[in-house]
Amino acid sequence: MIAKKAMLIDITLCVGCNACQVACKEENGLSDKEEQILSPTAYTVLHEFNGTYVRRMCQHCVDPTCVSVCPVGAFTKTAAGPVLYDENKCIGCRYCMQACPFQVPRYEWDNNYPRVQKCKFCASRLEKGLQPACAEACPTGATKFGDRDDLIREAHERIKAEPEKYVNKVYGLEEVGGTSILYISSVPFEELGFKTNLSKIPLPALTWNALSKIPTVVAVGGVFLYGVWWITNRRTEVQQLEAKLREMDDRSNGHETSNS
């Protein structure tokens, strides 16, 4: 069985240097401007709370809601841990954005062919036996990559070794059924913008329980969304064709004028 990979973020070790974001942007070929809010060009950001820095990114949930709500299977949970998105399947319904309990997926509103964007857990690096770019770049060990079970053990050991330093909680161990990004902290999580009232039951179980009671609505909704996607796509294609025809018209008019 493939060991589930994870990252342990020890908030007490983070110095706010932003090397994780810089490395992520470089790895993913994103604009190098510093960003404080998750965006299509920032898969990880730092939030500051009175001198304490917290990394935000996709949590790569063990049982992800984005996967369960996507009507066309554009999101998948891989055996190693990363939750990945396939732009070729996406119909742009943005259910994933609505459903994510951590408000992670971002949409390329300015793009003619918009995609959803989020951290990929450097899946291609993991396949080569490398660690994620952000973990490799972190100079203090605040972001540590490894097997999820080992990191959970290590998190508990760090808390046990210094109980006066750490809050007695590993965030991500149980939230929404568990996540691949785990946090330990010296400041209570609710003071650092973490949601501390999330269900311990994976949300897909809850959503499917609810959805199973309205199968017709789901089926009709799926067909409707496909229709919306088709019309939108078709409209873009027609607009592009019209623009091309106009360009050809202009060119041939110019040609005739110069020859006349």
Sites of contact with ligand SF4 (CB under 6 A): 14-20, 23-24, 27-28, 43-44, 46, 53, 55, 57-61, 64-66, 83, 100, 102, 104-105, 118-122, 132-134, 137-138, 140, 142-143
Report, in Å, the least distance between residue 54 CB and ligand SF4.
9
Report, in Å, the least distance between residue 254 CB and ligand SF4.
48
Which CB, 42 or 167, lies closer to ligand SF4?
42
Report, in Å, the least distance between residue 81 CB and ligand SF4.
10
Which CB, 52 or 222, lies closer to ligand SF4?
52
| Contact assessment for residue 66 and residue 83, using Cβ atoms and an 8 Å cutoff | yes
Report, in Å, the least distance between residue 55 CB and ligand SF4.
5
Report, in Å, the least distance between residue 32 CB and ligand SF4.
13
Which CB, 24 or 167, lies closer to ligand SF4?
24
Compute the residue count for the chain.
Answer: 260
CA–CA gap between residue 143 and residue 96 (Å, rounded): 26
| Contact assessment for residue 84 and residue 105, using Cβ atoms and an 8 Å cutoff | no
Which phi and psi angles does 11 have, rounded to 5°?
-60, -25
Q: 117 pairs with which residues across the strands? A: 106
Which CB, 141 or 254, lies closer to ligand SF4?
141
| Contact assessment for residue 145 and residue 23, using Cβ atoms and an 8 Å cutoff | no
| Contact assessment for residue 59 and residue 102, using Cβ atoms and an 8 Å cutoff | yes
CA–CA gap between residue 196 and residue 180 (Å, rounded): 17
Report, in Å, the least distance between residue 125 CB and ligand SF4.
7
Which phi and psi angles does 145 have, rounded to 5°?
-100, 145
| Contact assessment for residue 57 and residue 122, using Cβ atoms and an 8 Å cutoff | no
Which CB, 15 or 220, lies closer to ligand SF4?
15
Burial classification of residue 155, based on how many CB atoms lie within 10 Å of its CB (0-12 exposed, 13-18 middle, 19 or more buried):
buried
Which CB, 208 or 224, lies closer to ligand SF4?
208
